[in-house]
Structure 1
Amino acid sequence: MCDSSNNTDNVLSNFPLCLRKNIEELCLRSTIGFLPINLEDIVLNTNNHSVDKDILSNFHFLLKVPYAGKRLKWEVIFDPENFNFAPDFDFNDEEFLSYPDVDRVSENVPSWKNWNIKNPKSLAQVLNEFLILYKNYQIEKLNLENMYSRYSNEYKTLINGKDGIEADNIQVNIEGNIITFLIVLKVDCSSLPQYIQPMHYKGSNLSEHILYNQGNDFCHLKISVSKLENAQSNYSLNLSPRLEQILGNFKVPANDFKKDTSLTDIVFTVKRSLENRLQQIANHYRTKKSYVLNITSSCFRNIIEYDVLTFSKVVFMYAIDDYNCLVTVNIGTKFPIEKPLVILTSVYCPETKSCNQVVDKYPYNPGLKPEDNIKQLLEYLHDVVQEFKAHTH
């Protein structure tokens, strides 16, 4: 089997042995800012600072660091003679730390000053501390330049309001006349369906599939403001794989906003809309689960299969005297308002015959408890299955 651990091992083999624990921690167990750094976010630069082309001597690499909806290209450069020395950084930004204040850097990036190669979290800690310093540099630009004054005030209102967002949960980035805010929206995911793991095949061999760990849930609102005088804004959501899978085509209600809508109004309108949608999904999932589990309880001796991930299907055997019939119950997206689809399937007919019958007139009331609806369904099936038993080809 080829999985993420094998991919990690392949990447780690490109680094000196003393760095591998730090790279492994960075890729598998740490977040930089709001997101992790993935394996593909590491680019090796073997020849920039050395004539030694041996890949195992790599001491210089580029990291694509996630920040405010983009990837910062930061270069990390170690002393190849002694990895016990803290690495140097090239931030590829002429303004950020162009004339570094040693005392300021030491105060804000203590993990760099106290570098310890034997601590596997050292590199992740240094990157996070430099990212906070980079964020502070961006907020200073927001606060100091008059052209950004409106959004400087709105940012302060957002973090200082009664129901404000904590400053640690907002990233700000400025590029010319475009300001980007990336905001963590805290939503309750405890009652949502679990993530359904997709299979990505490398070939026809089932033993070669790759499993992707979806990680922790997150929801980030990205607001980009361009043409500051006319205040044109774009909104989008960056979601974890589970939320992306669950929410499907959920859209930010951009039409609800005018050009002068404040950041605070945008954030809380989107958050409220998102929470309402997630609550609907949680309620739907809970009612489906209750319905399916009640069927399995009532027909526990005759259950053939049921969906334990989305609770959208259950198959059981219905017996009358010496006749057995498969009953498939499919639960749709409009349940419980819309009744489940019930299908009878013969187990006696030749393979060349597909003998199915949809049962659509069984009693169902969305206002009843699942066990009451199921009791009525099972009673109704008695006569329907008797008729189905006598079907002819």
Structure 2
Amino acid sequence: MQKILYSFLCGILFISCSKQAPTLTSVKEISFNIGTPFSDRTIFHDKNKFEYLAFADYYTKSKLSFFTLNGKLKKEIPLNEITRNGEEIDRCIIKSLDSIVILGRYNNRVWLINETGNVLKQLNLNTIVPDKINEYEFSSSADNSFNGENLLLFSAWRSNSNDVEPEKDKDYQKYFYNRYNNSYSFLELKNIFNNYASCKYRIKGFNKQFEKNSEIAHMILPLYFTNNNDLFVYSIHCDTLYNYELPSYKLKTKIKIKSKHTSIGERGYNCDKEIIDHQSHTNNIAHYGGVIANVVYDKFRKLYFVTVPHKIDDKKEPEKKKLNRPFSVLIYNNKWKQLNELVFQSGKHNFFDLMVCKEGLLISKNVKENKNYNPKIARYELFKINN
């Protein structure tokens, strides 16, 4: 009996020890001939669970193009009914082919269009927000999606109609970021497809989760995505994912992202010490910083993928900037246990742009360092996920 038990335990130990960490194997490159430079992209599954890649051109021909995964154009939806009046688009969020939400850029407007591009409904968010004294600007993360019938937008504070704003640049800068960092970070939209649309501000002062100084300027908005009843929020200014429980929006847990090859998180800038050159600071972080670039969830294999570009010393290696530098793909299970870290060499992939499909992981090759770079053609490398 003891021998049988011993053999059984050894077998379990062997199986658990021999299970390899997930890896990626390159399968092929897929090209999507859009015909114009694209502003946005997403992966979409229709009601029959058929998979499409959607590419949006907001500026040249104003269209939304749907491709099959083998690169064939399936459908185009015009966006001219919105853009011909001079409106700019921030993001397309696809619920179905016949229910597409268009979020305006810098205008706090939302349009609902159908598969022919006709506007079914439009909504000025300024008219339904619960606070008319504080003005916010609303935008969306790249991989935003509906959580049931609800949609979450990022809210960036802009002004308060009751305030007397400081006149001096340095004083105004401190005032602005103090207000910004202590204001609401998200707006939850409900029932936007019917006549009972409503909204509610959520999560006050997200940046204070990782930066207690209210006079610190953060250059780029946080990114976020939802997975069932979980909201994950992260920023280029920290090394942590913040997991909020839905629908309560209570902080559930913090997930620290670690790499063996780079530090993660670039601090903001103290408004008390300098007048901030926003563009210069933003460029410096984007070109050389070690940051959480993107996080995606693989619902087919129940894995999370996190891309992290490696931090570069711009004085020692100034040529290794933007996408021309190594990056890591960190792989986690659905309990956020890190399973592997894979390093990719510089100049071949866009580490900000990756998507999960049924066949594996897509990583963009739209990088100017690639010889076949063409802004009118979206190129992705498909990787098989060996799990």
Which structure has more strand as a fraction of its residues? 2
- The higher radius of gyration belongs to 1
Q: RCO (CA 8 Å, sep 6+): is it higher in 1 or 2?
A: 2
- Normalising to structure 2: TM-score of the pair? 0.29
